[in-house]
Amino acid sequence: MQSILFVCLGNICRSPLAEGIAKDLARKKGLDIKIDSAGTSGRHAGETPCQNSIKVANMHGIDISYQRARQVNREDFTRFDIIVGLDSSNIENLKRMGAQNIIKLGNYGADAKDVPDPYFFNGFEGFIEVYTMIENCVETLFKEIEYNRFKNN
């Protein structure tokens, strides 16, 4: 079994979307992958994802309203095979915390960009754009996971 932790700053918009998209994709593909999300900051611990993230996920048939924000911790670095940072700042924070098995989600996109924080990116349309960007990157990441699983069997 493989496990993936998606990490953004507050764990209320981008990483909950990535978790929801990844869980939905894993279910559709029949993959047995443990998937979770967290934030480098604990400021929103215990909160649900923001309403715009819940709304855009619902528009795609994915329910993330049950998720609760939490802060990433050192145990996560051994519990998860892959730690996926949503932007370069998250990657640097994770490295400072001691994580080693880190990848940037944007590296699985067409242009290897950071996934921008939708709070500061084009209103609700920004959430739609960020959802699409995350979805495309997660699909590419899963193709690589499937390829590696096939290659190693």
Active site residues: 8, 14, 117
Question: What is the C-alpha to C-alpha distance for residues 25 and 18, in angstroms, rounded to an integer?
Answer: 10
The 3-state DSSP composition of the chain as helix, strand, coil percent (nearest 5) reads 50, 15, 35
Question: What is the C-alpha to C-alpha distance for residues 140 and 143, in angstroms, rounded to an integer?
Answer: 5
Question: What is the C-alpha to C-alpha distance for residues 19 and 80, in angstroms, rounded to an integer?
Answer: 13
